[in-house]
Chains A and B, each alone.
Chain A
Amino acid sequence: MSDTKRSGGLPQTSEPRMTAPLLEIKNLKKYYPVLSGFMRKTTGWVKALDDVSISIRSGETVGVVGESGCGKTTFGKTLMMLQHPTSGELRFNFADGVHDLAKMNSKDLMPFRSRVQMIFQDPFSALNPSKKIFDSFDEPLRVHGHANAKERKDTIVRNLEMVNLNANYMYRYPHEFSGGQRQRICIARALCIGPEMVICDEPVSALDVSIQAQVLNLMKDLQRQLGLTYVFIAHDLSVVQYMSDRIMVMYLGKVVEMADSVSLYREPRHPYTEALLSAVPIPSIDVKKKRIILEGDVPSPINKPSGCAFRTRCRYAMEICATQEPRVAPIADDPAHLVACHLHGSALGGALGEGANPIADISGHPRAGSV
C-alpha cells in the first residue's frame, strides 16, 4: 500500500478509490439468546448486531460510534471472529483469494487470524502480568508458524522500535511500563504477525489526554507506513472523527448512518447523529452550538421499539416511524452517504440537512482554521 492512496488530509469522497474492498460485510447479525426460567429456555434475543452491511477498503479507517450497548464492541469482536455471527457474510479479499470467514470453523480460521488483529481498550489487562514482554510477543509468532527463534527475536526488536520503544524493554514485565507505553506495546504486539486489518476497540479511552495524542499520532504513522486498514471503535466522537475516513453510527445494533467523516460532521442526516454530535463538549468558549438533549436512555435491546428503534427519543418522530422500519439507503445528493431514516426516504427529506450542523463556528479555538 503506497502513501499516495491515502490522501492524509480530508477524505476525498468525490474521487473514487480504485482499491477493491478488503472486507465486505453483508447482513451481519449477531443475536444472543435471553435465557430464563429453570429450564433456561430461550425467551428472547438480544440483537446486538442486526443486519450490518459495509465494505471496507484497504488502507482506510472506518470509525464506529454509538452509545454504550449499541453493538460497536460486538461488531469488532465479530469481525475478529471472536464471536461467531448468527448469520451474514464476512468476505475478506486477501492476496490469495476471497474468503468468507463467517462460514469457517475455528480450525479453518487459524491461518486468517494473523491477518486481522485487535487492540483492546485496557492495556493494563491486555498484557499478561506474569510474562515478560518478550514472551507476550513470542507466543503469537510461534503459533503462526515463525519457527526460527532468531527471526522471531528480530521481529520483536523491529516492532518495538517501530512504536518508539527501546528493544531492551522486551525483557521487562508489563508493570514496569506506564499506560501509554503499554498501549504502544499492545500495538506492536498486534502488528508483529503482520496483519492487514487492525480492529481498535477504544484504544485510547483508558489513557490520559497528553498520552492519548502520542498514541493516536503513532497509529496514524503506522497506518501510512504499513498500509493498514483500521476499524476504529470509540465512544469519543472527537477522536473518531480525527482518526476516520468514514464513520458508521450505530444505535441498538443497527447502522443508522454512514458517511465520510467530514460530511457526517458537517451535515448529519440522521436525528440520532445530529443529537450525538451536538452533545459532544467542544473545548472552546466561542463555539456557537445548539445542543439537542435527548430525552431518556437507550431502550432495552431485548425489547426494541417497533419500527425505527430511535423513534422514542427522536424529535422528528412521525407516525410511519412506529410502524415501518427505515432501510439504510443513500441520500439523494450523495450516494456515499447512507442513512436509515424516514425523513430521507420520502418527500419529507430536508427537515435535516442545510443548517443542521450543531456547531456553526469554531473560530475561537487555538487550532481553528485547520479545517
Chain B
Amino acid sequence: MRGELNMERGKTILEVRNLKTHFRVGTEDISIVRGVSFSARQGETLAIVGESGCGKSVTVHSVMRLLPKNGRLAGGEALFFDGDTPRELHRLEPFGKEMRAIRGRKIGMIFQDPMASLNPVYRVGDQVAENLLQHFKLTKAEAKEKIIEMFASLGIPDPGRRILDYPHQFSGGMKQRVMIAIAMICNPDLLIADEPTTALDVTIQAQIMELMERLKREQRKAVILITHNMGLVAETADEVAVMYMGRIVERGRVERIFHNPSHPYTKALLRSVPVLGHGRAERLETIRGSTPSPAECVTGCEFANRCDFATTKCKTGTIPAYEVEGGHLARCVLFEGAKELPNE
C-alpha cells in the first residue's frame, strides 16, 4: 500500500530542476513552463494535476524532447538516472542518436487519445514491433513472441490473432492497452502517461488504471501520470504536483495534498468538483473568472486575480516556494515566514 513504503523509497529515475519552456507565437516569445521541479522514483506514481493549458503536457514533452518546432527549452535541467552517471536530457539533441536511444527504450509514453495515436493503416502488432525492433536486435519471430506475451499480460484476449488486427477492430480500452504495450515493450524504467483514460468510460478507466498500478507495483516502474481528475490522483498517486499557469503551485505526498491542501488553488480545485455520495443541497464552490492566457501573466502569482486571499504582495516579483512541512511545498505568500525553497 501507499504510504507504508515511505521508509524505503525507490531510487530517483528522473529529476527535473527549474525547467523552463518557451513557445514562439508570431513575434512573441511566450513562457509556458516557468520553472518546474519534480522527481520520479521507482515504484511510485507522480501525478501532475492541472487544468487544460496549465503546461502539464508541455512539461513532459519538454523532458522527452518532443516539443514542436516553435517550442524550445529555455532553461533548467532534466536528469535521467540510468546506471551510475545521470544523463542530461536537456543537453541532448532532440532527435539525435542518444535521445532516441532513451525515448521509447528507457522512457515509455502513453498519450491521451488512443484513437489518434495509432496509425490506422498498420496492424497493431507491427506498430508494437516498430518500437521493439528499433531498440533491440531481434528476429521477427522473437519479436512476435515477445509482443504476444506482452498482449497477454495486458489482458488482451486471443493475442496471437489480435496482433494481426488493425486499430479500428479494437475498442477504445483495447486500443489504450495497445498503446501501453508500445510504451512497455522495451521494458522502460519510466512510464509517462498523459491523460491515459480521459477518452475512456469509467469502467474501462478502472481497468486501465488497475493495469498501470500493477506495472508500478510488480515491476517497480516509475510512473508519471498527467491528469485533471483529482479522483484518479487520490487513487493512484504517491506524490502530487499541482500545476497552474506553468508553475507547480503545490507539491507533496498524496496524503498531505488531500489532508492539508495548502495553496488556495489546490483547495479550490478539490472543492469545486461534485463528489459521488455527497449531498445535492450545497452549492459547489467556484473559482471566479477563467484561466488567463499565458501571455498575460507577467509578474507575481499567476492565480492572484482569481484568489480569495490575494494581497498586494501577490502582484509583484516571483512568489517563492515555501515549505509547509517536510516534503510539502506551496508557492503562496500565505506561507511567508516558512522556510523558502529557492531551488524549487
Q: Is the CB of B277 within 8 A of A371?
A: yes
Q: How far is the CB of B21 from chain A (nearest CB, A)?
A: 21
| A276 to B231 CA separation, bound complex (whole angstroms) | 15
A-contacting 9-mer, from B26-34, B75-83, B129-137, B205-213: B205-213
B283 proximal to A (CB < 8 A): yes
Contact B278 A281 (CB under 8 A): no
Secondary structure call for the A interface: loop
Q: Does A214 contact B (CB under 8 A)?
A: yes
Q: Give the contacting residue for A293; candidates B207, B229, B258, B283; CB below 8 A.
A: B207
Q: Is the CB of B290 within 8 A of A211?
A: yes
Chain A residues with CB below 8 A from B207, complex form = 293-294
| Contact partner, B258, options A179, A241, A362, A364, Cβ 8 Å | A364
Task: Determine whether B343 belongs to the interface, using a CB cutoff of 8 Å to chain A.
Answer: no
List B249-275 residues whose CB lies under 8 Å from chain A: 254-255, 258-259, 261, 267-275
> Which residues in A have their C-beta under 8 angstroms from that of B235?
281-282
Judged by a CB distance under 8 angstroms, whether B121 is at the interface is no
Say whether A241 contacts B274, CB under 8 Å. Answer: yes
In the complex, how many angstroms separate the beta carbon of A195 from the nearest chain B beta carbon?
A: 23
Contact B272 A209 (CB under 8 A): yes
8 A Cβ contacts from A138-196 to B: 178-181
Cα distance A278–B276 when bound, in Å?
10
B274-A238 in contact (CB<8A)? yes
What is the CA–CA distance of A278 and B205 in the complex, to the nearest angstrom?
A: 12
A182 CB to closest chain B CB (Å) equals 11
Instruction: Name, among B172, B203, B228, B255, the residue most crowded by chain A CB atoms within 10 Å (CB to CB).
Output: B203
Docked Cα-Cα span, A359 to B278, in Å, equals 11
Contact assessment for B275 and A362 in the assembled complex, using a CB-CB cutoff below 8 Å: yes
Please name all residues of chain A whose beta carbon is closer than 8 Å to the beta carbon of B205 when the two chains form the complex: 279, 281
A120 within 8 A of B: no
Q: Is B290 in contact with A178, judged by CB distance below 8 angstroms?
A: yes
A360: nearest chain-B partner, CB-CB: B277
Interface positions of A from 41 to 62, Cβ below 8 Å from B? none
Interface size class of B (residues with CB under 8 A): 35 or more
A370 located at the interface, meaning its Cβ lies under 8 Å from any Cβ of chain B in the complex: yes
For A217, what are the chain B residues with a Cβ–Cβ distance below 8 Å?
283-284, 286
- Note all chain A residues with C-beta closer than 8 A to B274: 216, 238-239, 241-243
Q: Shortest beta-carbon distance, B56 to chain A, in Å?
A: 12
- In the complex, the answer to whether B203 meets A10 with C-beta atoms within 8 Å is no
Residue pair A283, B268 in contact (C-beta under 8 Å): no
A265 to B204 CA separation, bound complex (whole angstroms) = 20
A210 at the interface (CB under 8 A from B): yes
**Distance between B336 CB and nearest chain A CB, rounded to angstroms:** 24
Chain A, 261-317, CB within 8 A of any chain B CB:
261, 265, 275-287, 291, 293-294, 296-298
Question: In whole angstroms, what is the CA distance A298 to B230 when docked?
Answer: 26
In the assembled complex, B97 has its CB within 8 A of some CB on chain A: no
| B216-254 CB contacts (< 8 Å) to partner A | 228-235, 254
Does B196 make an interface contact (CB < 8 A)? no
A128 within 8 A of B: no
Chain A residues 228-248 with CB under 8 Å of chain B are 235, 237-239, 241-243
- Decide yes or no whether A107 CB sits under 8 A from chain B: no
B117 an interface residue at 8 Å Cβ cutoff? Answer: no
Q: How far is the CA of A44 from the CA of B235 in the complex (A)?
A: 42
Cα distance, A243 to B278, chains bound together (Å): 11
Q: Is A208 an interface residue (CB 8 A)?
A: yes
**New A-B pairs, 14, CB < 8 Å, besides A283-B270, A294-B207:** A9-B281, A178-B291, A209-B230, A210-B51, A238-B275, A279-B202, A281-B231, A281-B234, A282-B275, A283-B230, A285-B255, A285-B259, A293-B210, A362-B278
* B contacts, CB < 8 Å to A: 51-52, 157, 171-174, 201-207, 209-210, 228-235, 254-255, 258-259, 261, 267-287, 290-291
